[in-house]
Amino acid sequence: DAKTTQPNSMESNEEEPVHLPCNHSTISGTDYIHWYRQLPSQGPEYVIHGLTSNVNNRMASLAIAEDRKSSTLILHRATLRDAAVYYCILRDQGAQKLVFGQGTRLTINP
């Protein structure tokens, strides 16, 4: 599985936007970019995924660089409930399992 690189931790303030970066310079043409998050004492939760175009859903937006070597998860208005570990994962279109890295631990300050 192609590797992703994320900062170990980030901090933001409540009600402000948060941009979580992910580098994936070895991404292949068939790799989808998936984001999951894990709140304390819970299982991971799907956030968003995309291939080439930017994606939006009710939880977040995913901005994908034109060369696909990096992407950014955008939380438009962070709340305290968004404090979690966020995982950026590359998943080949034919792959059956998700391979998690270390993720970014996001802290939200009130």
Binding residues vs other proteins (CB under 8 A):
32, 34, 36, 38, 41-46, 49, 87, 91, 93-103
CB of 63 to other proteins, least distance (A): 19
Q: Which is nearer to other proteins, 94 or 110 (CB)?
A: 94
CB of 56 to other proteins, least distance (A): 16
CB of 48 to other proteins, least distance (A): 9
CA–CA separation, 80 and 74 (whole Å): 15
CB of 91 to other proteins, least distance (A): 7
The one-letter amino acid at 53: S
Q: Which is nearer to other proteins, 1 or 14 (CB)?
A: 1
Q: Which is nearer to other proteins, 62 or 87 (CB)?
A: 87
Nearest to 47 by CA among 3, 84, 6: 84
CA–CA separation, 38 and 82 (whole Å): 10
DSSP codes of every residue in 49-96: EESSS-EE-SS-EEEE-TTSSEEEEEESS--GGG-EEEEEEEEETT--
